[in-house]
Amino acid sequence: GQQVMQIPQYQHVQEGEDFTTYCNSSTTLSNIQWYKQRPGGHPVFLIQLVKSGEVKKQKRLTFQFGEAKKNSSLHITATQTTDVGTYFCARLGSSARQLTFGSGTQLTVLP
Amino acid sequence: DAGVTQSPTHLIKTRGQQVTLRCSPKSGHDTVSWYQQALGQGPQFIFQYYEEEERQRGNFPDRFSGHQFPNYSSELNVNALLLGDSALYLCASSLVGGNEQFFGPGTRLTVL
């Protein structure tokens, strides 16, 4: 199936610094979703992007879908300790059944 | 409004044994998907159930089977457990054809 690659695998930032994680695919994506998983928790849906060049914001989080629909990014401005966790991108299959997850970026925020 | 619930929370089994994990979907949801998440990796799709039938299956062997009941709850069964089956098993519910899947807290399975 279509794989999504995610970088970096780990990111340590000082509280207040910005953070960005990237998701890339070799093929065109019909959609991209982003999830957050806190340590010891379960994935929680953040957002879905479907349009070329789409940009969506949720408070300090900015999500982008590339013009070619082959990449996406999640940017967090002025990180807080509550942002700690692993951020996953995922592609929902055309039949809206199977989610294919990237490997995730584990964010650590140092106080 | 209860979210997705899973039981048990933790489970320890030995190689060769069989295990059954349970999931109750979010109220109003009719579709249940199961995922396996190994340590440090993203969740891997096992299968999805709707109307008590398996709609789609990921790349998992036949040792993994499931069931959905008329009340939409679901079970995941794994036979002949291997050490490599140790993982967090996540259940996710949704409306059929819906884009958003709601994940439960998961069952942590350890195979010794």
What digits encode the pLDDT tens for the residues A1-20? 568 999 999 999 999 999 99
Cα dihedral sign for A110, A15, A80, A48? negative
pLDDT at B88: 98
Neighbours of A78 (CB within 10 A): 11
pLDDT tens-place string over residues A67-102: 999 999 999 999 999 999 999 999 998 777 899 999
pLDDT at B1: 62
What span, in angstroms and rounded, lies between the C-alpha atoms of A92 and B105? 21
pLDDT at B85: 98
pLDDT at A34: 98
Sheet hosting strand A61-65, strand order edge to edge: A5-7, A19-24, A71-76, A61-65, A55-58
pLDDT at A1: 52
With bands split at pLDDT 50, 70 and 90, how would you rate the model's confidence at A55? Answer: very high
Structure tokens belonging to residue B108: 């942590």
pLDDT at B2: 76
pLDDT at A97: 84
Q: Which of B42, B55, B56 sits opposite A101 (nearest CB)?
A: B42
Determine how β-strand A99-101 pairs with β-strand A105-110. Answer: unpaired
Q: Which of A43, A100, A103 sits opposite B103 (nearest CB)?
A: A43
Contacts of B69 (CB under 8 A, 6+ apart): B52, B75
Task: Say whether B83 sits in a helix, a strand or coil.
Answer: helix
Half-sphere exposure of A14 (CA within 13 A, CB side): 0
B60 vs A: CB within 8 A: no
Question: C-alpha distances in angstroms, A74 versus A87, A89, B36, B42, B69?
Answer: 9, 9, 24, 17, 38
pLDDT at A93: 86
pLDDT higher than threshold 80 for residue A109: yes
pLDDT higher than threshold 90 for residue A46: yes
pLDDT at A2: 62
Mean pLDDT for each 10-residue chunk of chain B (112 residues)? 91 98 96 96 96 94 97 97 98 89 97 98
Of residues B76, B52, B54, the one with CA closest to residue B65: B76
The CA-based angle B36-B40-B44, given to 5 degrees, is 25
What span, in angstroms and rounded, lies between the C-alpha atoms of A17 and A58? 17
Sort out which chain B residues have CB atoms less than 8 A from A102's CB and list them.
42
Which string of b and e fits A12-28 if b means at least 16 CB within 10 Å?
Answer: eeeeeeebebbbbbeee
What span, in angstroms and rounded, lies between the C-alpha atoms of B2 and B110? 27
CA-nearest residue of chain B to A10?
A: B40
CA-nearest residue of chain A to B34?
A: A98
A96 vs B: CB within 8 A: yes
B58 vs A: CB within 8 A: yes
| Cα pseudo-dihedral B93, A25, A106, A99, rounded to 10 | 10
